[in-house]
Structure formats: structure tokens, C-alpha cells
């Protein structure tokens, strides 16, 4: 599907570059559909509305529609298409991929640390998510002043959280050889801002703290 959207650019270098560009935009299923729709429209495809009772398709027409903003169907009607005798060639692909998904109530606090409650989606290679910079992306539903819900795509383009493993001397040789994390207990990422908030809890940025020490008959006294 991705390659077919770029006619005239069939060299390996150009195709690879375009694919990487697509992947850098398609972080989630919602972003993948948005990017595909944008490229389809640039290639002359017309968006259809599933609510319409009749689409009025034309021969040689190029069309697409989306559902839930997370799936997309695109098709071309051939110039010699006959509904009684013609068939169709279908190609399918995923827009989603395994990842930790935020729970509806996603804020966690463990040991004074701000964390994100997540659930493992799909059959992920979960060990690859540990000890690397992570962020969040997806779709948010907002309520307008007239009480109507609107959806907005979210992509935080900087690292804000991390899933850390134990130091090597806290693991046995068997645990290191067969890394099997408990997704409920071990996968929730720690928010990077949580550490900052704890550090700034008493002395916010811009506050100057001075320490003086006095000695007297009752011993030493520290004043801040």
C-alpha cells in the first residue's frame, strides 16, 4: 500500500527514503490513517462517506474511506469494470502494531514516582521497550462547549518516560538469560517529569535557598 502511492519513484533509495518518512509520521494507527489519506488525496483519490446511501462511483475513479480514524480502505474502479463479470484484487495490511497502551485511568503513583498505567497490546517484543527513551501518541477525545465530542491526534515529539530494568547485580543468571517481565507490574513507564516534580516540590524553579550553620551550647543548628 505504501509503495503503490508513489508512482514514478521506483529506485531503491527513493522508495526506502519515502518508507522511512512514512514510518516517522505513522506512530499510531490513527497517524498512519491520516498520513495514508493525505497521500491518497495527493494522488487524486476522493474521500467517501460511509453514511451516504449511494456513492455514485465512476469508472476509472479512485476512492477511499476511513472508519474510526484507525482503518482505511482505498480502491480504484477499472475503466472496463463490469459488476457482473469483473473481479477484484485485494491487498491488506495492519495500521496498528504491538505497544504498551495507556489505560483509561492511566496515572499511577508508586514509591513517590509518577508513572503511566499501561496494558500490553498485541504480541510485542517487550524486552525491546526497556531502558530506552519513550513518549506518548494517539488520539484524544475532547468535549466542546456545546457538549459535542471531537477527536484530536496527539504526538509528543520528545522523550517523557522510561521503563527501567534492575541493575545487573540484582538479577540472577537465570533471570538475565530468560527475561520474562510481568506486564502488569514491570511495564508501566516512569514519567520523566515525575522526578522533576519531586525535586521541585519544596523549592520551585527561581527559588534561592541558603544554608547557615550556627554553633552554641546546645550543639549545631541549621537554618534554611
Q: For the segment 103-162, what is each residue's pLDDT rounded down to a tens digit?
A: 988 888 887 788 999 999 998 888 889 999 999 999 999 999 999 999 999 999 988 899
Q: Can you give the pLDDT at residue 196?
A: 65
Cell numbers standing for residue 119:
496494558
Higher pLDDT, 175 or 79: 79
Closest by Cα among 94, 90, 56, 87 to 75: 90
pTM passes above 0.85:
no
Kindly give, in sequence order, each residue whose CB lies less than 8 Å from that of residue 81, ignoring residues fewer than 6 positions away.
Answer: 59
Report which secondary-structure segment, H or E, holds 192.
helix 192-199
Helix (H, G, I), strand (E, B), or coil: what is residue 36? helix
Cell numbers standing for residue 7:
508512482
DSSP-derived secondary structure letter, 134: B
DSSP-derived secondary structure letter, 78: -
Confidence grade of residue 29 (pLDDT, cut at 50, 70, 90): very high
Higher pLDDT, 73 or 114: 73
Helix (H, G, I), strand (E, B), or coil: what is residue 180? coil
Amino acid at each position: 500500500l505504501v509503495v503503490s502511492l508513489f508512482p514514478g519513484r521506483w529506485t531503491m533509495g527513493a522508495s526506502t527514503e519515502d518508507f522511512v518518512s512514512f514510518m516517522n509520521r505513522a506512530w499510531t494507527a490513527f497517524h498512519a490513517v491520516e498520513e495514508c489519506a493525505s497521500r491518497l488525496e495527493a494522488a487524486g483519490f476522493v474521500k467517501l462517506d460511509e453514511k451516504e446511501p449511494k456513492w455514485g462511483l465512476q469508472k476509472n475513479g479512485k476512492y477511499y474511506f476511513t472508519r474510526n480514524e484507525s482503518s482505511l480502505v482505498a480502491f480504484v474502479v477499472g475503466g472496463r469494470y463490469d459488476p457482473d463479470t469483473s473481479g477484484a484484487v485485494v491487498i491488506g495490511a495492519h495500521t496498528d502494531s504491538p505497544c504498551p497502551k495507556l489505560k483509561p485511568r492511566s496515572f499511577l503513583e508508586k514509591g513517590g514516582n509518577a508513572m503511566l498505567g499501561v496494558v500490553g497490546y498485541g504480541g510485542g517484543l517487550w524486552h525491546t521497550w526497556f531502558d530506552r527513551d519513550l513518549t506518548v501518541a494517539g488520539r484524544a477525545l475532547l468535549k466542546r462547549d456545546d457538549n459535542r465530542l471531537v477527536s484530536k491526534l496527539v504526538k509528543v515529539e520528545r522523550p517523557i518516560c522510561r521503563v527501567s530494568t534492575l541493575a545487573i547485580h540484582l538479577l540472577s543468571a537465570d533471570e538475565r538469560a530468560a527475561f520474562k517481565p510481568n506486564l502488569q507490574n514491570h511495564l508501566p513507564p516512569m514519567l520523566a517529569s515525575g522526578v522533576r516534580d519531586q525535586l521541585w516540590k519544596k523549592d520551585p524553579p527561581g527559588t534561592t535557598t541558603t544554608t547557615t550553620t550556627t554553633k552554641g551550647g546546645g550543639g549545631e543548628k541549621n537554618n534554611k
